[in-house]
Chain A
Amino acid sequence: MILEFTPDQQMIREEAERFLREKSSSEAIRRIADGGATHDAELWNSISRELGWCAMAIPEEFGGLGLGATEVAILMELAGARLACAPFWSTVCLAAPLIEAAGTEDAKITYLGAIAAGEMAVTVAYADLSVADPSATVAVQASACANGYRLDGTVAHVIDLAVADVVLVPARLDDGTVALFALARDAGQTIAPLNTIDATRPVATLGLAGVEVAAECRIDAGGVSADQFASVLRHANLGLAAEQIGAAQGVFDLTLAYISDRVQFGRTIASFQAIKHRCAKLVVDIAEARSLVFGAAAAMSGTDTAESALEIAGARVLASQLQFLAAEEAIQLHGGVGFTWEYDPHLYFKRAQASAALLGSAEAQMDDIAAAMFGDGGRP
């Protein structure tokens, strides 16, 4: 097997890169991050409605293009490189896979159709995305009431909640089944945006205090199983890993440009071997992480889901470590200005820390891999 992009994939990549370079520039990111906005509405509109990025991996029967994990990873990587302030990951890598895995046929027609058409940003209110089986930690209770269901609970950190048109809420029924509810913004929930250090991706707390929703809001086909959650997490982790390696490449490119201009001792600082070697090591780490991300993406449609999950966990480990390293090297190699608000490395640095904690730490991912290597089911 040779791993290379097809001409179509290459074209998607080049066009997306060109588009984002223009529309998600440093100035654009700063308008959002410094301006307190939740997202770049214009950018999101272009991505979702005009360019059809959200349709990429949605099956054709629901109005999508029916492409695969590789195409999504390509877009996520580029979005990461420009820190694109849009609810793309939550909609495409988190919500859409959940609807596809667990939704009723009607829900798929409605929601996947709207996502594919670029008309809807959707996120998921997982209580704890860091565990292999999120069904075990569902924090919202659902009980049947006259008109449908009453929802009670709080989900502390919901990505893109403040932006999303719809939030998907897994909630536990009295009989233990995990049901899935789709809530429009006016369903009675509270959305409390959190003041986050990383200003490029909004996080908010979802409050459900006895919110009564109609029976039609329940969209799962007979409960969400642990296997279904696991499949969603594979998509979410792979997309996030792709975004992380993109962010690493993005901040590395900034750094290369800076050190190639900066002159000290009568030469560019890029000519010093101490600096060249650090940059070269980053190339090695990028090559390693990117290979695993795109290798795992290519292998994802195969039948061995356990193996695929381990590869994706591994991709997250590499991508989290890489993203942080690239950002901290950027600050260091920029010198004093790397410590300022004015220069961009801090945006990537903060994003790196925030992303590393999403969906579980590298240590937890490695615990899972070790458990599989030893076949002993987990921590000693």
Chain B
Amino acid sequence: MSDLNAFRTEVRDWMNAHLTGKFADLKFRGGSGEGDVLPELRKEWEQELARGRWTCPGWPAEHGGRGLSVAEQIVFQEEYSRAGGPGRMGHIGEGLMGPTLIAFGTDEQKKRFLPGILSGTEFWAQGYSEPSAGSDFGNIKTRAKLDPETGDWLVSGQKVWTSLAHLSDWIFVVARCEEGSVGRNGLIFLLMPLEQAGVEIHPIKQISGGCEFNSVFFDGARAKAEHVVGQPGDGWKIAMALLGFERGISTLGQQMSFQQELDLIVEISKENGKDRSPAVRQRLARAWIGLRAMRYLAMRVLSDEPSAETRREALAYKYHWSNWHRELGRLAMDVLGMDANVVSDDPRRERLQQMFLFARADTIYGGTNEIQLNIIAEQGLGMPREPRGKL
């Protein structure tokens, strides 16, 4: 424990020493609903983190990380968020792409791609969802065709909800490589540069007015032969493993941000008198309880050797935090009252308004509420699977 405390102090000191000067503008920015804010400065910040060896601290040392334990990673996330560390531009590379390459990549792929992620110089986007493959991820229609001359793959189709594609350098794409295959069979996992002929990126303006998401159109775009991860046909396996690498440690940082939002609501309610409403007080108390439970829930499910019970609880985690956060958005607006509807440059109000709007996405991305409940029922409780339709 005392080692953890020393580590905590180390992170805190580093953040306080480095989140200064031009980077001070980044404090508490780039979070929920602000993914596209100050991108260039945030990329520089990634490089600043890299100089301190704070990118990818959970990766094994042999691959350039610090090999931190789960407990240390939690401490890092907490202190990063407490200091106001901005939303991480490198999150997809660090949390998803890197661990996938470490597990499944060739030595050449690791040598080519891990350094760019570690140094905060190459940024990744995730090419999973498609217009007709949202919850039904197996319904992927984007095609990859082998170019017999080069061994490269030529990709055509459309990906959607691609976070920060317009600010990224590379994208990993799951595409169908076997003609006539359906479902989870016949998929391929490809690494592709976004800067090339045959790739077009169209931002999607979202409910909150910002543009974090994109549609990415591929028209004969090229993935090099050596940029296939695993074998053609392994796409589903690798895509699922990739999702498994996100164990939720980064959500501990997210919880610090939730706490700040809750604190803001309490502060505002004291100022505008809503703190005298018994109903508002009860809702705020319930929010506090939910957040505290969320913290302990994360600590239970992050265990290295989960029991059947904690595995089931892990399935419940996303549903819990996303619905809690969505409800907090409503509570924030109810506390703001008439002001909630008025756009202003008051940063507190702006933050809560953005949160209110963006939280509607929380219960949709990464598996909708309805899909989460299916997963809990089927995988957690062993209840019968949903029948598939024929359309």
Contacts and interface: CB of A to CB of B under 8 A. Distances in A.
Given A283-B315, A376-B275, A271 B296 contact: no
Contacts of B275: 374, 376, 380
Given A1-B299, A2-B302, A287-B297, A369 B285 contact: yes
Nearest to A267: B384
A18 interface: no
Contacts of A208: none
Nearest to A290: B313
A3 B289 contact: no
B305 to A, nearest CB: 8
Contact of B373 (A268, A276, A374): A276
Most buried by A among B71, B286, B317: B286
A131 interface: no
Contacts of B295: 295
A291 B291 CA distance: 11
B74 interface: yes
Interface string A341-380: 0000000000000000000000100110110011010011
A326 interface: no
Contacts of A262: none
Contact of B303 (A3, A256, A267, A369): A3
B289 A292 contact: yes
Nearest to A307: B292
A288 B320 contact: yes
Interface stretch (A160-168, A176-184, A311-319): A311-319
A279 interface: yes
Given A3-B300, A289-B293, A291-B293, A373 B285 contact: yes
22 contacts: A1-B74, A2-B70, A2-B299, A2-B303, A270-B384, A276-B373, A280-B372, A280-B374, A286-B316, A287-B312, A287-B320, A288-B320, A291-B293, A295-B296, A317-B289, A318-B289, A366-B282, A366-B285, A370-B281, A373-B266, A373-B288, A380-B277
Interface of A: 1-5, 10, 256, 260, 267-268, 270-271, 273, 276-277, 279-281, 283-284, 286-292, 294-296, 310-311, 314, 317-318, 363, 366-367, 369-370, 373-374, 376, 379-380
Given A276-B374, A291-B300, 16 more contacts: A2-B302, A5-B307, A260-B383, A276-B383, A277-B373, A283-B316, A284-B316, A287-B312, A296-B296, A318-B289, A363-B282, A366-B285, A367-B281, A370-B285, A374-B275, A380-B275
